[in-house]
Amino acid sequence: MSALRHAAFRGCRFLLEAAKATTRSPKAASSSASKNKAAATTSKSSTSAGKQGRSPSARPTGLLKVTPVSPTLHSFLGVSETSRGDAVKKIWDYIKLHNLQDPMNKREINCDHKLKTIFGGKDKVGFLEISKLLSAHFVKPN
């Protein structure tokens, strides 16, 4: 049995020696490594500069874009224009302030009179439904 193991390992040594012989010289390996390092540093610097050095004329999009809101949401928030993220944040602040989250099922919100006007008269709303129900209150600009 041990003779079989030695024969198997001898084959592995043979393969490893052949692989070592075909590798590049240390000088060629170091030059390609330095090229890879230089490419990595230039790509890192260009991506980080793009995030930090954003031009002042770039407009926010998506959740950060300020858009006009419906009169019902305006009466709740007190502002005529807001971003979606800020609107959801203020609604969650209201929910937490008035303790409207269901204590047994934290994923449900028990709506009071003010929230019913925003959420279409529903008594209970799932927390994932909030952004969906709010989308009707954001007026699309022409």
**Buried-state track 80-114, b at ≥16 Cβ within 10 A, e below 16:** eebbbeebeebbeebbeeeebeeeeeeebbebeee
Candidate CATH numbers 3.40.50.300, 3.20.20.70, 1.10.245.10, 3.90.1150.10; the one for domain 64-135: 1.10.245.10
How many Å apart are CA 49 and CA 59, to the nearest integer? 17
Closest CA to 132 of 96, 88, 90: 88
The domain limits of the chain are 64-135
pTM (two decimals): 0.58
3-state SS assignment for residue 47: helix
Q: pLDDT, tens digit, for every residue of 66-125?
A: 999 999 999 999 999 999 999 999 999 999 999 999 999 999 999 999 999 999 999 999
Residue of 117, 84, 114, 120 whose CA lies nearest to 98: 114
